[in-house]
Chain A
Amino acid sequence: MLKRTCLFSTHQKLGGKLIEFGGWEMPVQYTSITDEHLAVRNAAGIFDISHMGEVTVSGAAAVDFLNYVFTNDVRKLSAGQGQYTLMCNERGGVIDDLYVYCLSKGVYFLVVNASRVQADVAWMQKQLAEFPRRAELFMTDASHNYAAIAVQGPRVKDFIDACIQGPSNCALRVPKVTDLKKNEIGGFLFHGHDVMVSRTGYTGEDGFEIVGNDQCIAEVWDAVLEAGKPFGIKPCGLGARDTLRTEVCYPLYGHELDEDTTPIEAGVGFFVALDKGEFIGRSVLAEQKAKGVSKKCIAFKMTDKCAPPRPHYPIWVKNTGLESPDESRHGGTGKPALLGNGARVGEVTSGTQSPSLNVGIGMGYVPPEFAAPGTVIEIEIRGNRPKAVVVKKPIYKKS
């Protein structure tokens, strides 16, 4: 039995094509992925993100506990500030990537991936049970209390203030929503209900994410869609959410991140604060930062005209010095498989036809010697191996 958000009937009314995602019945698109994607890049789009999880952690020892289970330094956050961070196991493998917000001193609000809510809460409870100062903090899975939407695009700032009126009454105190800077969060009143608004998103565009209870979020959706109409707003599904984040090379858990992949390998070492003190996975990550990794996350663009790259398609390179007519090595973990001219060295983790660039794009993992921008690679697609080139992240950049 799939779960449904409070916006389910709205999705049906708007003609959303519903699919399964992380145990939820969600819209993959309303009109077309390309239209919705371009609406976000050029005007505005609204997304139901109610399937995501929310966890509250509060108390005198909250900051110490969070700094122990997360890679980034939570002490950097003052009231009303948030940061992207990762939660790792002892091997440095990623349990989840998430946002942590400081709402006020000792009060923290986490927003986690829909597919990882149970894993995250179980892990944190396990760590909490052994945490010396556990009596000085309190943790709650509040996911069932909250719905959420994302409003993203260059025109959002032109209509959001009329929709959700300031000033804010908690977290960061600002006169209006658009006074929030990137990663900042404030509490506002919408038709008498409390909502949290953060200047964050998963699309590479300016925008906001709005969290509140079910009834209120359904009303916020309608109000935002109405206010955004003159500016070209469109409802957007998970399909566009995926093409948008792939263009700007944001990782997706289960693709670029998993429990056997570290933040260093994934290229998000910037969010690992090795100097903050001890945290779970620190020794592995420190060694990787010092000595290097055996696999690296790359971004690539197809250079031959071909079908789009997709997750799990093999990545090949030629002229590796590994080719030998007498040897045949089994394809698999770290050992290149030989087939004709070239070696299979890795795998695509995300891939699509880029609606903004009109070319196949993607991300994947290869040994570090093949990860330099400019390296020519091949993507195996139905027996063919069209060429691609490794590029710097992000693949799409606003000009």
Chain B
Amino acid sequence: MSDIPADLKYAKSHEWVRVSGGVATVGITDHAQHELTDVVFLELPALGRKVKAGEACAVVESVKTASDIYSPVTGEITEINKAAVDNPALVNTEPYANGWFYKIKLSDPAELNALLSPEQYGAQVGG
């Protein structure tokens, strides 16, 4: 049974979003890291890059596969998590805390309404 914090919003593609002011923090869920297991490499978008909701903007590599990460929201990348780049295992051990990927300044906060609630995401992953 995976962990699904109640204060976050979720994408079908297993990214989570935490909003504060007009800035969202993005990472991947406990379910996703559990499926991947050992994350060995993280490729994050460049600072200042503008991404659209649904656009592939990062790559998570496990021992076996490379997985694309799709931005749940549209905006401009304002910060990336260097700690996770240097220590990719954080994605597995702290997917909602120190394993976060990037922060993005929202250009359309209304997009958050299209994301899944914790209950809806829970129903999707059966957890």
Contacts and interface: CB of A to CB of B under 8 A. Distances in A.
Instruction: Please report whether the interface of chain B is mostly helix, strand, loop or mixed according to DSSP.
Output: strand
Contacts of B43: 307, 382
A29 B37 contact: yes
12 contacts: A28-B64, A32-B37, A34-B38, A243-B63, A307-B61, A308-B61, A310-B66, A352-B63, A353-B61, A353-B63, A382-B43, A382-B59
A308 B40 contact: yes
Contact of A239 (B41, B63, B66): B63
Nearest to A243: B63
A355 interface: yes
A242 B43 CA distance: 24
A33 B38 contact: yes
Which of B38, B41, B64 is most buried by chain A, counting CB atoms within 10 A of its CB?
B64
Query: Which 8 A-B pairs rank lowest in CB-CB distance, beginning with the nearest?
Result: A32-B37, A353-B40, A34-B38, A33-B63, A307-B41, A307-B61, A32-B38, A239-B64
Interface string B53-66: 00000010111101
A346 B38 CA distance: 29
A109 B106 CA distance: 66
A197 B66 CA distance: 38
B101 to A, nearest CB: 15
Interface string A43-74: 00000000000000000000000000000000
B39 to A, nearest CB: 10
B59 A307 contact: yes
Interface of A: 28-29, 31-34, 239, 242-243, 306-308, 310, 352-353, 355, 382
Given A29-B64, A352-B64, 13 more contacts: A28-B64, A32-B37, A32-B38, A33-B37, A33-B63, A239-B63, A306-B41, A307-B43, A307-B59, A308-B40, A308-B41, A308-B61, A352-B63
A246 to B, nearest CB: 11
A382 B41 CA distance: 13
A33 B40 CA distance: 12
A31 B64 CA distance: 13
Nearest to B63: A33
B37 A34 contact: yes
Contact of A355 (B59, B61, B63, B66): B63
Nearest to B89: A34
A141 B110 CA distance: 64
Contacts of B40: 308, 353
Contacts of B64: 28-29, 33, 239, 242, 352
Contacts of A310: 66
Nearest to B37: A32
Contacts of B63: 32-34, 239, 243, 308, 352-353, 355
B93 to A, nearest CB: 12
A34 B61 CA distance: 13
B37 A353 contact: no
A271 to B, nearest CB: 29
Nearest to A34: B38
A45 B13 CA distance: 34
A28 B63 CA distance: 12
B92 to A, nearest CB: 9
Nearest to B40: A353
Contacts of A306: 41
A247 to B, nearest CB: 12
A257 to B, nearest CB: 21
Interface string B90-119: 000000000000000000000000000000
A239 B38 CA distance: 12
A307 B42 CA distance: 8
Contacts of A242: 64
A31 B36 CA distance: 11
Nearest to A354: B63
A302 to B, nearest CB: 10
Contacts of B38: 32-34, 355
